[in-house]
Structure 1
C-alpha cells in the first residue's frame, strides 16, 4: 500500500497536470476514495504507479483525437524549425538540385570537354585529334550510369580490391 494523496499532490509526484490525471481516471486509473463532485479524491500512489506500469506494458492508452492533433502540430512546428535552421532538406528539393547538377555535368562531358580536350591535344602534340575519340567513351560511361540499378546485386560496389571479370579470367588461365 502506498501513500494516500490528493489530486494536486499526485500531479506533483508524477510531474503531470491535474487535467492529465482527470483523463487517466476516465481511462481506468484507480481512485482510492472517490469523494464526489467538488470534493478532493484520494489516490493510493502504489496502485496508481502499478496501473501506469501495466498501461505502459500494454502500449498505453489509445491516443485521443486532441492529443493526436497536438502531436501532429508539434511535429510540424519542429520540422519547420529544423528547415529554418537548415538541419533538414525536403527530398523533392534535393532531387531537383541533384537532377540539375547531373544535367549540367552531362552537358559539360558531352559538349564542352571533347571539343576543348581535342583542341588542346591537337595544339600540344601537333596532331589532329578527332573529338569523337573522346566523346564515345564518355557516352558509353553515361549510358552505363543511366542503367544503374541500386537494387541490382550483380553490379560491383566499386571496390578496387575485387577483380573485375577480365582479371578473374586471366587468373583462371594461369
Structure 2
C-alpha cells in the first residue's frame, strides 16, 4: 500500500492538473476513498494509481476491445493446451484422480496383504501364532485418522501443542 493523498497532492506527484485526474478517474483510475458531501476530498493510494498508470502506458492509452480480449483468451487457451501436450502442466483433476488411485492401492495393501503376510512371517520366525488382527487394528485406526484429516484443524494431537519447539518456552510453561 502506498501513501494516501488528496487529488491536489496526487496532481503534484504525477505532474497533472485536477481536471486530468478527474478524467483519469472516470476512465478507471482507482480511488481509495470517495469524499462524501461538499468539501470532502477523494483520497488516492499512490501505489494503486502508479500501477494503474503503468498499465495504461502498457496499453498505449488504448482500451482492450471485446475482440482483443477474445483473441487474448483464445491465445491463452492454446498456450495452455500446448503446455499440457508438452507435459509442462498437469491438470488438477487428473492429478487428484491419480493420487486417489495411489491412496486406494496403498489402503488395500495395508489392510489386506500386509497384516496377513507380516503375521505369517512373524509366526514362522518366532514360532508363535500371530493373529493378523493385531496388526490390522492399528492400521485401520491410522487410516481412519487420515480419512478425517483436516489441515485447518488446530487439533493438539498433530504434535504441535504450543506451536514452539524451543526448550526455553517449555521451561516457562513448567510446573
Query: Is TM more than 0.5 here?
Result: yes
Deviation at 1:102, TM superposition (A): 0.5
Q: Which residue of 2 aligns with 1:116?
A: 117
TM normalised by structure 1 equals: 0.57
Change (3 A) 1:54 1:131: closer
1:9 matched to which residue of 2? none
Q: How well do the aligned residues superpose, as a CA RMSD in angstroms?
A: 3.2
Q: CA shift at 1:54, angstroms? A: 9.0
- Structure with higher Rg: it is 1
Partner residue, 2:136: 135
Judge which range, 142-151 or 56-65, deviates more: 56-65
Residues 22-61 of structure 1 mapped to structure 2, 5 A cutoff: 55-56=56-57, 61=62
> May I ask how many residue pairs the two structures share in their alignment?
115
The residue number in structure 2 matching 1:66 is 67
The alignment partner of 2:122 has SS state of helix
Distance in 2 of aligned mates of 1:119 and 1:59: 76
Deviations 1:63-84 (A, max 9, x none): 2111111111110111011101
| Structure 1 stretches of at least 4 aligned residues deviating more than 4 Å after TM superposition | 57-61, 155-159
C-alpha distance in 2 between matches for 1:87 and 1:155: 39
Q: Which residue of 1 aligns with 2:81?
A: 80
Task: Name the CA distance, whole Å, in 2 between partners of 1:147 and 1:136.
Answer: 17
Q: 1:89 to 1:127 in 2, by over 3 A?
A: same
TM-score after normalising by structure 2:
0.56
Structure 2 spans left out of the alignment, 5+ residues: 1-52
CA–CA separation in structure 2 for the residues paired with 1:72 and 1:115: 56
Residue 152 of structure 1, CA deviation: 1.4
**Secondary structure in 1 aligned to 2:154?**
coil
